[in-house]
Amino acid sequence: MSREADETSRRSFLKTAGGATVATASITSLAGCGGGGDDTEADDGGGDDTQTEADSGGGGGDTQTLRYGRGAHSSTLDPQNTTSGEVAKVTNQAYEGLIAFEPGEAALTESLATDWSVDGQSVSVTLREDVTFHDGTDFTADDFIATYRRFVDEEYEYYFEDASVYGPFTLGSWIDSIDAPGDYELSITLTQEYAPFLRNLAMFTAVVVSQDAIEGDTDLDEAMVGTGPFELETLDNSNNRIQLTAFDDYWGDAPNIDEVLFLTRGQNSTRAQALVEEELDIIDGLDPDSMQIVDGSDTAETRTATGINIGYMAFNLSRVEAFRDRRVRRAVSLAINTQTIVENIYSGIATQADQPIPPALFGHNEDISPYEHDPEQAQSLLEEAGYGDGFSFTLTTFQNPRGYNPAPLPTAETIRSNLQQVGIEVEIDDRQFSDYLTYTSEGRHDATLAGWFTDNADPDNFCYALMHPQVESPEGQDWIDWGTEGFNTGNNAAWANAEFMDLVDQAQQVSDEGERAELYQEASQIAHDEAPWVYIDYADEVRGVSTGVSNYVVAAIGGPYLKQVEVE
């Protein structure tokens, strides 16, 4: 850097320090924004400056920009290369699936499919016509087939070697074959009757990619060729930001905004501050402290929606003999004051949990209520089970906050002190998340704090994914050895209750939602009574939204829905 430039820096510094308002400058974003002359009013003096808005001086276009602030940048733009929700926030703007979630609800709605029907193992889908991809090609059934094959079919020339686990998890394990009887018709045969299948089609990872892009030389880690309302303008990995612009040939209603910027602010408080100072329009990932910053301002507010997630502590029945006794598990559930954890530690941004299925989903059993904090009853249950003198175990936890557990270490500390009162000694074993995942997936924990965000807003995604061993349950016991071949390590309690498993298996194969709900309610009651987990919380979805933003719906699944958002 030259002396001259440094002089400029100091001059600039002194100028701003002097309180002078820095000149307004018109710039044209080099990245295009076709149509020429998107005039941008920039105030260099205040923080992360730019307030993009109409240039009152007339001239160029009237660019409406929405700045979405988040905690981490996308590690890829390829929805088949990730399980990260952070990636989905961006890909959901550019890609669409056959089916979508209603904004802010768990119900399904049309997207690239206009009609569908399920008959046993056969699924028929009618596709929308006159839909264009961002690369100008028309959307047909072949695009879906190419997308599907790229994800799961190793025979396919363009099979994606690095495909994420969602390939088999959501589609591959359930689809036997796909045919296209016509350009706009799909006929899918499933490997078994599987009720959650349609919901899997609505997941961010099942979106349709242009066949031309798949079979051409497009690098889908850095480009998005979908049919969504926004298309990629700039991927700026050097500055952790992504610029999307409205797609002119979108089949549906055009977005209300011209441009979306995904900006990264790693620290929650910095992000909240940036929102308050009107450098961002919407932010996510708020903790109680950053919520206070937002709520204390008159430029932004927090908005919440019931989340579709759960935070819990799982007993490892495969490892700790004491936990194989239901009375011990219930005693621990009674001894831990989850109400205090939720109200005091999570500062009210969560509700107390009582069963595996969150309240926003069908199948949630309204008749169940959380275990009351009752150390005396806990003590008597322990005595009854022969553990009156107590015992000890290690509680494994991740260190950093996660959506379903905003404060893992204080949670673990509370559990430790609560259980001390009934004679149970707890040693806390906190680990970095990647280490935690490795450790618990190998079943080395005695008990672990854990949690889950829904993938597809289906109760099966909680009951089957987290509480079902996915192998035969051993005769006469309700737990399974961790080393059993094919065991679902997502079931970190190693719980294998035959009655529960039977209900969940049945619910997978019934298509009527009312009937499924009854089966899950029954399964939930068993999961509550048997207590393989201490149910801690269902966390709210919290967003910080600028007062200038309207029509924004906080969604627990899918989204963020930015197409209909308006910015003042």
Partner 1 sequence: MVSKQFLVKRLLLLFPVLFGVATVVFAILHLSPGDPAVTIAGERASQEFINEVRGDLGLDDPLWQQYVRFLGDVAAFDFGQSYQIQRGTPVSQILANRLPITIELALLGEVAGLLFGLPLGILSAVRQDTLTDHLTRVGALSGISIPIYWSGPLLILLFAQFLGLLPTSGRIGSAYFVETQTGFILVDTLLAGNVAAFRSAVVHLALPVVVLGIYQMALISRMMRSSMVEVIRQDYMRTARAKGQGEKITIMKHGLRNAFIPVITVIGIQFGSLLGGAVLTETVFEINGIGTLLVDAISRSDYPVVQATVLVFAVLYTLVNLGVDVTYSVLDPRIEQ
For the CA atoms of 230, 233, 236, 239, the dihedral, rounded to the nearest 10 degrees, stands at -70
Query: Whose CA is closest to 306, among 357, 345, 269?
Result: 357
Identify residue 33 by its one-letter amino acid code: C
Question: Nearest CA to 491 among 512, 468, 521, 514?
Answer: 468
Closer by beta carbon to partner 1, 417 or else 489: 489
Query: Which CB atom, from 186 or from 465, has the smaller least distance to partner 1?
Result: 465
Rg (CA), the chain: 26
CA dist list (Å): 198 to 123, 195, 305, 359, 457: 9, 7, 24, 21, 11
- For 26, list phi and psi in degrees, rounded to 5: -95, 125
Q: Measured from the CB atom, is 24 or 547 closer to partner 1?
A: 24
Least distance (Å) between residue 79 CB and partner 1:
12
Nearest CB to partner 1, comparing residues 7 and 372: 7
Contact in structure between 211 and 463 (CB atoms under 8 Å): no
Shortest distance (Å) from residue 142 CB to partner 1: 25
- Between 3 and 298, name the residue whose CB sits nearer to partner 1: 3
**Least distance to partner 1 from the beta carbon of 328, Å?**
27
DSSP 497: -
Instruction: Kindly give, in sequence order, each residue whose CB lies less than 8 Å from that of residue 345, ignoring residues fewer than 6 positions away.
Output: 406, 407, 410, 411, 414
Comparing CB distances to partner 1, the nearer of 44 and 522 is 44
Q: Measured from the CB of residue 203, what is the shortest distance to partner 1 in angstroms?
A: 11
Residue number, 392 or 438, with CB nearest to partner 1: 438
CB of 518 to partner 1, least distance (A): 27
CB 176 within 8 A of CB 189: yes
d(CA 75, CA 97): 21
Q: How far is the CB of 505 from partner 1 (least distance, A)?
A: 18
Give, in order, the Cα–Cα distances in Å from 284 to each of 452, 455, 564.
18, 18, 18
Distances (CA, A) of 538 to 192, 349, 405, 409: 32, 9, 9, 18
CB closer to partner 1 out of 139 and 262: 262
Least distance between partner 1 and beta carbon 92 (Å): 18
Q: Measured from the CB of residue 193, what is the shortest distance to partner 1 in angstroms?
A: 22
